[in-house]
Each structure stands twice: as C-alpha cells, then as structure tokens.
Amino acid sequence: MESPANVLLVEDNQGDADLVRLRLVESDPPVKVDCARRLSEALKTLAAKKPSLVLLDLNLPDSRGAETFRRVLEKAPDVPVVILSGQDDETLAMKAVHLGVQDYLIKGDITSKHLERALRYAIERQSLLRALDMTRKQQLEFKNQFLSHVSHELRTPLTCIHQYATLLLDGLAGPVTAEQSDHLKTVLKSVTQLHAMIRDLLEATRAEAGKMRIEPRCMAVGDLMVQAMAMMRPAAEQKRIELEAVLDAAIPLVYADPDRILEVLINLLDNAIKFTPEGGSVAVKACMIETDPSAVYVSVSDTGRGISAQALPRIFERLFQDENAAEGSRSGLGLGLYIAREIVTLHGGRMWAASEPGSGSTFSFHLPVYSLARLLRPVITEEGRLRPSFVLVRVMVKPGRTPPLGNWKVLCLQVLEVVRRCVYVDKDLVLPPMGGLANVETVYVVASTDMERVTIMLRRIQEQLKTIPQLEISGKVEVTAEALEVPANASAQDLDQQVQALATRVQETILAGLAAQAKRNAEKGKK
Amino acid sequence: MIVDDDPALRQALNLRLRANNYDVVSACDGYSALALAQKERPDVILLDLGLPAGDGFAVLSNLQQFPSLTTIPVIVLTARDPQSSEARSLKSGAVAFFQKPADNQELLDTVRTCLETGQAFTRRWPR
C-alpha cells in the first residue's frame, strides 16, 4: 500500500493540528504536511496543488459539518479525504463515509501507527473505488455497443425474409393461391413484429446510453391524439373495444417532438387494448393542470384487467412483462413502457401509472407547455425595457409543381439553416417550428429591429435560399414581414407582463396564419 | 443501378424493379459501383452504406468528383440507423434515405419521382 507523499491538514485548533502534524512527521517515510486553518484556505490550496490525501476537521471557522466535506469532495474528487472527528460527531463522520469520504479518525484517540495505517488504507480504498467505477463504465459502454451492433446485424436477414415474402405475395414469382397468400401474410406479420422488436431494442439501448435525441417543436397534443387513435382503431374494433378521446377545448400548445410523443401514445394504446377484454373501453385524455400551468396532462386509461400491486412499481422496468401477455402485440420484448417513459423524461415531463386490479389502469404523463414569452424575453428586452421595434418575419415553403425529391424534411431543414444564417444571433429569434401541416413549412423569426433593417435581412434570405437547388425546382417560398406593435410602456406595468402580452400577440398572429393556411389546403384538397 | 453487397437482396430488388419496367444493373462494392456508373450512366442509384472496398459514403463523395455522375440521384438503402446516418447521407448528396427493411411501395414511389423529375442538379448541402 502506498504511503502519502504529502498531506493537507485542515484543522483550526492549534493543539489538535500540532498533535497530528507531529505524528505524521515522525512516520517512516516522513510525510510532508501542509496546513490550512479555514475552508477557504484549504480550497485554494487544493486548486493549486493536489495532495495525496486530505485530513479534514469538519468544524472550521468558515464552514461546519456536512457542508465542509461536501465542498472539499467537490473541489478535489480524486483526492482521498479522511475526517478528523470529535467524540460526539461519529454519526456525522459515518454519514461522510457514505457520501464519499474514505475514513474517519477520532481526535484524541490517534496513535501514530494508527494514523499511518488509516492514511494508507484511505488511499488504497480511493484507488479501488476509482478502478471499480471505470470498469463499470467500460462494461456499460461495451453492452450498449454490443446491443447496437446486434440490432443492426439482425436487420439484414430480416430484410431478406421481407423482400422474398413480398415478392411471392405480390405475384412476382408466379401466381399465388389464396391459401399461399394467407401463409405469406402470416410470415409478414412476424416480420413486422421482429422489426418492431429490433427497433425497440435499439431505442432502449440508446435511451440508456443517454443518446436518444428528440426534436421538439410547438404542437397541439390534440392532433397527435387524433392520429394515434386513427392508427389503433382497427385493433380496437377487432376486440369490440370502445376508443374515445376526451380533450379540453382550451389546452395550450406544448413543446414536444411529435413523432416521439405519437410513439408514446401508440405504445400506451397498444398496451391498453392488449390488456382489455372484449367489449371494454379505452380513453385518451388531455387537459390542463390546475396546480401547474407550465405542463399539460395526458393519460390513457382502460377498463382492462389492471396491474397487480406487486407488478405496479416495476412496470416501467426494461424487459419486465406481465405473465399472460397477450398475442398480437407490437413487440414482445417488454421495452415499450421503458422507452415511453424515457421519451417523456427527455421532454422534461414525467410518466406514472395507477391501477385497480380487475377494473383497469391509467397511464399518465406531463408535457411542457410551449412558452413563447420565455423564448422571446432575452431577445426583445434590453436593460430592463422592451426594445423599440419588432418585426415578425415569415418564411413559408410550399412544394412546387414537382414534389420535392425524397425527403420533405430535408428541404425544411435546409430552409431553416439558411434562415438561421441570415439573422442576428443576439437580436433576432428564429422560433422553433410550429404547427404540423404536411407539405407546408413555415419558419418564423422575431426580429428585434426596424422595418428597414428587416428589408435587408429579407433580401439576404431570398438570395441564400437560391443556394438550395431542390428548392428552385420543387418549392415556392413566400417571405413576408409584419411590424409588431410595441405594447405601451406604462411604467406601472411589469416588464414580464409586457413580454407576455407581446408573446401572446405573436402567437395568436402565427396561429391564425397557420389556421388560414390549413383551411386553404383543405379547400384545395377538396377540389 | 443497385449497389449492395448482399446477393440475395440484389436479386430480390432486381426482380421487383424489373417487374416495374425498369432496367437494372448491379454492383457489389464501392469500387465496381463507380466503374459501373461511369459505364452505364444510370438514371437512379440505390446505394447500401455498408460496402466492402470503401463504404457508401466513399461512393457518394466519389460520385461528386465526376461531372457526369454528380447529377445522378442517389437513394440510400441501408440497415444503419437514421439517427446516425440520415443527416450525413443527405449532406453527402443523397436525395433520400431508407432503412432496411423498407416499405416497397414507398421505395418505388421515390424511384419514380427521381426519374420523372429527370432534372440535372447537384445536391450539395448549401454552404
């Protein structure tokens, strides 16, 4: 075991300090000792030079108790700490060991042999813990890479099965009898299931590795509810389960990734339908929360068999599955709820479950409300007041006569990039995408400047948009600007209120525009 | 032109595309893909990313080097995950990204759109 080369002794009582110092200097080999009387001194020394070990009295003139060791550990997490404890402070000293300190010694009870041994042991323990931690991290990393690799490799043979089964089914290798067609459809059902399992495996692995990404935008929960229900209706109808939605009329918009939240809803609905017997009912609900205006509440509840009290706390665990899991499920791996909860957590919300065995279950979650005021504030205020003028710029992209090749999403991303390059980072705000209109993408910018400068910006945007080749051929761009009225600066009015009022107006303008566009699209569709 | 190192998949795609009245040529690695593209001047390329002799991204960047090849639309068809590969593919010049197993109809629709457009343009990410 290693002996400490130099020790930092943090002790304000001269007598106690001298005793310890003497012991250390007497040891073989002798230990160099630096002294500090106050926490601030100790922290300064730690910043300059890391000792092999810190001997720490918890009660110093500028810090007492748990706070002392907490701050030392924070400052030098790699340096082992041994507490010098008074006779009455043993409980605190033990707590300190739980929280990262290596050992403690009772003052007045320290022989030099004792001290030497304790210090060596503390250094050894610290290095052992570090090695363990590194091994754990490496194993986790390996496991995640392994699972990613496996789920990737599984796709190739799965694709082959899919390709040849569909080839046969589509009659591309000769005529197919009705019976053969049925068999092939059965094969394809398994392919779909396997595909879902591979996807879930990869998603769960990514979630655990902290690599799951979401792309939140401003959106309406109601739209997603409608979509999810439409997708799950056939499955519900097969079991004669009633599927209904309960939606508050005035729910605020949320800031969330529509694809991911759709995934969550489908997951929950799939489970609800799976575990509800024929003739039962499933309901999706979304409403505001009285006690918390910054979040929206969403739930999926069913009249199914419910979850037992033993299973309930484990329901979100990976790979946890209820016995008697029903057939025909999307994925049989038991990862769905884990993934759903990870997605919601990434959004800043939380998810939980409640259940009454025999009568049904409810899975609930929160999503953050979209707050334009919060986003706008740093841009439109300056030194405690509103800037003098703002302009709302709208860049709208619509597909041209030739639909965009491949990915519409790519085109939208390209437009967003161009717009971002043309605005002033500090003074203008490019709003997160709003609305979920297919094939029309609108980028909004709140420019905190006047119409004149905005005209220049608009010209730049138009020029830069020309560098997107696909856009010329397959899209039309409309760029408009509208001056926003600055709310009257009644000095009695709180700046927050002013920001809020402006944000509300901007949001209303935008939503009205999007609604009008949706209406025009719908009418065009009817023709 | 199909570029994929899996012979079974090449054959299946071949059959399906021919059934839709397309002429098909295939290559099984990055190097021969380039040579074949030069020789045949396909109208669309279906490109796998995991290839021997230079992966799909190498092919994409090589295609950009030749003025006659740079205008051919490339559709990436790969087992790799979109989160890690889609943006990179599109920035490297692909016009679309599909993860295997892909929906046949969607794939065919995209191929058809590429051919109907028949436009020659470079697909560099705006810089």
CATH number, residue A329: 3.30.565.10
- pLDDT at residue B126 is higher than 60: no
Confidence of residue A186 (pLDDT cuts 50, 70, 90): very high
Query: B110, A405: Cβ pair inside 8 Å?
Result: yes
- How many domains does one find in chain A? 4
Query: A159, B79: Cβ pair inside 8 Å?
Result: yes
Interface probe for A, chosen from B10, B98, B123, B124 (most Cβ of A below 10 Å), is B123
**Residue A117 lies inside a defined structural domain of this protein:** no
Instruction: Let me know: does A193 contact A200? Beta carbons within 8 Å.
Output: no
**Residue A169 lies inside a defined structural domain of this protein:** yes
Domain CATH code at residue A141: 1.10.287
- pLDDT at residue A246 is higher than 80: yes
CA distance B65 to chain A (A): 18
Instruction: Dump pLDDT digits (tens) for A271-324.
Output: 999 889 999 999 999 999 989 888 999 999 999 888 888 888 888 988 887 665
The b-or-e profile of A468-488 (16+ CB within 10 A means b, else e) is bebbeebbebebebeebeeee
Query: B96, A213: Cβ pair inside 8 Å?
Result: no
Confidence of residue A183 (pLDDT cuts 50, 70, 90): very high
Helix (H) or strand (E) holding A353: strand A351-356
Alpha carbon distance A248, A415 (integer Å):
35
Percent of chain A with pLDDT over 90: 30
Single out the residue of A224, A282, A215, A214 nearest to residue A251, CA to CA: A224
Instruction: Dump pLDDT digits (tens) for A54-101.
Output: 999 888 888 888 888 889 998 888 899 999 888 777 888 888 888 889
Query: A163, B75: Cβ pair inside 8 Å?
Result: no
CA distance B6 to chain A (A): 9
Query: B15, A167: Cβ pair inside 8 Å?
Result: yes
Burial (CB count <10 Å: 0-12, 13-18, 19+), residue A89 = buried
Alpha carbon distance A58, A498 (integer Å):
49
Query: B8, A195: Cβ pair inside 8 Å?
Result: no
Percent of chain A with pLDDT over 70: 90
* Residue ranges making up the domain that contains A467: 379-526
**Residue A185 lies inside a defined structural domain of this protein:** yes
Q: Looking at the structure, do residues A147 and A234 belong to the same domain, yes or no?
A: no
Average pLDDT value for residue range A393-404: 70
Instruction: Let me know: does A237 contact A317? Beta carbons within 8 Å.
Output: no
Q: Looking at the structure, do residues A169 and A248 belong to the same domain, yes or no?
A: no
Residue among A159, A469, A470 whose CB faces B100 most closely: A159
Q: Looking at the structure, do residues A459 and A421 belong to the same domain, yes or no?
A: yes
Q: Looking at the structure, do residues A282 and A156 belong to the same domain, yes or no?
A: no
Per the prediction, chain A carries an average pLDDT of 84
Alpha carbon distance A11, A20 (integer Å):
10
Please tell me which residue of chain B has the smallest CA distance to A214.
B83
Helix (H) or strand (E) holding A229: helix A221-238
**Residue A120 lies inside a defined structural domain of this protein:** no
Q: Looking at the structure, do residues A183 and A292 belong to the same domain, yes or no?
A: no
Q: Looking at the structure, do residues A245 and A202 belong to the same domain, yes or no?
A: no
- pLDDT at residue A326 is higher than 60: no
Query: B9, A213: Cβ pair inside 8 Å?
Result: no
Q: Could you please report the per-residue DSSP string of A501-519?
A: HHHHHHHHHHHHHHHHHHH
- pLDDT at residue A328 is higher than 50: no
Set of chain B residues whose Cβ sits within 8 Å of the Cβ of A155: 79, 99-101
Q: Looking at the structure, do residues A522 and A418 belong to the same domain, yes or no?
A: yes
- The per-residue pLDDT for B124 is 39
Distant-in-sequence contacts of B85-93, Cβ < 8 A, 24+ apart: B85/B49, B88/B57, B89/B49, B89/B56, B89/B57, B89/B60, B90/A407, B90/A410, B90/B125, B91/B125, B92/B57, B92/B60, B92/B61, B93/B60, B93/B61, B93/B63, B93/B64, B93/B122, B93/B123, B93/B124
Instruction: Dump pLDDT digits (tens) for B27-73.
Output: 999 889 999 999 999 999 999 998 887 789 999 988 888 888 887 88
Alpha carbon distance A266, A234 (integer Å):
13
Q: Looking at the structure, do residues A387 and A428 belong to the same domain, yes or no?
A: yes
Query: B90, A410: Cβ pair inside 8 Å?
Result: yes
Instruction: Let me know: does A333 contact A200? Beta carbons within 8 Å.
Output: yes
- pLDDT at residue A470 is higher than 70: no
Helix (H, G, I), strand (E, B) or coil at B41: coil
Quickly count: other Cβ atoms within 10 Å of residue A240's Cβ. Answer: 11
**Residue A128 lies inside a defined structural domain of this protein:** no
Query: B79, A407: Cβ pair inside 8 Å?
Result: no
- Checking DSSP bridges between strand A6-10 and strand A390-399, what pairing results, if any? unpaired
Which one-letter amino acid corresponds to residue A9?
L
Residue among A164, A405, A467 whose CB faces B126 most closely: A467
Set of chain A residues whose Cβ sits within 8 Å of the Cβ of B2: none
Region of residue B38 (left: phi > 0; alpha: psi -120 to 50; beta: else): alpha
Alpha carbon distance A255, A371 (integer Å):
8
- pLDDT at residue A401 is higher than 70: no
Residue after which a domain boundary falls, among A94, A110, A126: A110
Q: Looking at the structure, do residues A187 and A241 belong to the same domain, yes or no?
A: no
Residue after which a domain boundary falls, among A368, A403, A432: A368
Instruction: Dump pLDDT digits (tens) for A489-510.
Output: 655 567 777 778 878 888 888 8
Architecture of domain B2-107 in this structure:
3-Layer(aba) Sandwich (3.40)
Phi, psi of A492, deg, nearest 5: -70, -25
- Say how many CA atoms lie within 13 Å of A391 toward its Cβ: 19
Confidence of residue B127 (pLDDT cuts 50, 70, 90): very low
- The per-residue pLDDT for A473 is 63
Q: Looking at the structure, do residues A170 and A294 belong to the same domain, yes or no?
A: no
Alpha-helical (H) ranges within A50-89 are: 66-75
Phi, psi of A222, deg, nearest 5: -55, -45
**Residue A316 lies inside a defined structural domain of this protein:** yes
Place of tokens 């939140």: A216
**Residue A142 lies inside a defined structural domain of this protein:** yes
Q: Is A29 on the interface with B (CB under 8 A)?
A: no
**Residue A127 lies inside a defined structural domain of this protein:** no
Q: Looking at the structure, do residues A92 and A231 belong to the same domain, yes or no?
A: no
Alpha carbon distance A202, B99 (integer Å):
14
Query: A160, B9: Cβ pair inside 8 Å?
Result: yes
Average pLDDT value for residue range A229-241: 92
Q: Looking at the structure, do residues A351 and A406 belong to the same domain, yes or no?
A: no
- The per-residue pLDDT for B123 is 44
Residue among A170, A206, A414 whose CB faces B126 most closely: A414
Instruction: Let me know: does B121 contact A473? Beta carbons within 8 Å.
Output: yes
Interface probe for B, chosen from A206, A410, A461 (most Cβ of B below 10 Å), is A410
